[in-house]
Amino acid sequence: MSDESKPAPALIPLPPLPYLTADLPGIGGHIKLRPQDFVVTEIPAYDPAGAGTHVYFLIEKTDIDTRTAVVRIAHALGRETRDFGYAGMKDRRAVARQMLSIEHVDPAVIEKLEVPGVRVLNVALHGNKLRLGHLAGNRFDIRIRGVTADQLADTRRILDVLSRRGLPNYFGPQRFGVRGTGHLLGLALLRGDDQEFLDLFLGRPDESIDYGAMLRARKLYTDGKFDDARHAWPGHHREERAALGALVHGRNARRARFAVDKHLRRLFLSALQSFLFNEVVAARLPTIDKVLLGDLAFIHGRGAVFAALDPAVEQPRADSLEISPSGPLYGFKMTWPTGEAEKIERDVVTRNGVDVAWFGQGEHNIRGERRPLRIPLPKATCSSGVDDAGVYIEVSFALPSGAYATVALRELMKSEEGESEESPGASED
């Protein structure tokens, strides 16, 4: 791809997404005023077999993230963090129950672990390491504060709509990073625009988002002071420091871009896919529960996709939330729908300056896949109560792996706080 052949980037950082329940008032309020207000419990994809060399142990962690919990446990056992397995990442500001695994450790030692912020709830044996994605979903019990008990009726009305029509399967804002520019970094990578990638990754200071050493480092990069910028970045920002180190040693923008870990670069490309998927969901939101002629319908519970050749035949299955229309995680091998659904999906990439073929060029090998535009929200409940911190409304629901609790919260609260999380994919994966 030559620069002359590529249209100018047209993406903007995270435009507001429409609500499915826009005609119902939100309850406002606040979440995570204390960790106990946000309780997440993993729903495992399978139970430990009871035999094997791997110890599976369920932990309850409070006010620490998964990485910190693993670091503390590894230190207590004298092991490396890479020895541990887990199915997903969980937030710091929460009480989270999740499974970890470690091989060749006496289960009795695990049972007696004493680690700050972590309790071991049970221990079992299994034959393989726990891997990312070995997870059916998560159960959430969330207390919203700064509300009144009489808003419970509004909460119930919103949950009734979501239970009947499904929850929009938006990717949450944490997918795009603290600065909300992960998709823009992904677009720069996809286009092969190395200088734009570096400018976004290392510079473009914004005092409404950046602060402290990070703000100073971005300003130094913008001023061309690469070595000063490298030393200004906090030590744990290894990728920023690596890219700047390449520039300090006279490497060009392409070499500096390759100094950034390939897994992080892949996350940026995934953020671009997520942004474009959200745009498709937003475009189809008014009829998100309707099957269009030519749709590729997603079968919930099986993960299979099929062409909807007769919407009238398939609509009763959609009404019962057995199936849903699917949308694109764009890639060069992705299957396209036909008809109106295809037009919507092609319009999204066109107006955002993306050529789907780019996903298969250069170092990229992103085939693409389909994802349901909505997900069932069965057995969602709500109640009100009072404790030592005051009045709250508690909502409880389960989501499949890859879905975001923040999407349900933003429908309920109709506020930016309902969209906040602390780390990409936290609490949801």
CA separation for the pair 32, 174 (Å, rounded): 16
**What share of residues in the chain are helix, strand, coil (percent, to 5)?**
40, 20, 40
d(CA 209, CA 412): 26
Start-to-end C-alpha separation, the chain: 35
Written as six digits, the tokens of 137 are 């979903």
CA distance 285 to 166: 11
Outline where 41-129 has alpha helix (H).
66-77, 107-111
- How many residues does this entry show for the chain? 429
Burial 216-247 (b: 16+ CB within 10 A, else e): bbbbbbeeeebebbbebbeeebebbbebbebb
Name the catalytic one among 65, 91, 193, 429. Answer: 91
- Whole-Å CA distances, 241 to 121, 128, 219: 40, 36, 14
Q: If DSSP codes are grouped into helix, strand and coil, which group holds residue 398? A: strand
Query: What is the gyration radius of the CA atoms in the chain, in angstroms?
Result: 23
Q: What is the DSSP string of 139-204?
A: EEEEEEES--GGGHHHHHHHHHHHHHH-EE-PPPGGGGTTTT-HHHHHHHHHHT-HHHHHHHHH--
Distance CA(298)–CA(175), nearest Å, equals: 23
Q: Which amino acid is at 210?
A: D
User: Is 160 annotated in the active site?
Assistant: no
How far is the C-alpha of 405 from the C-alpha of 418, rounded, in Å? 9
**What are the catalytic residues?**
91
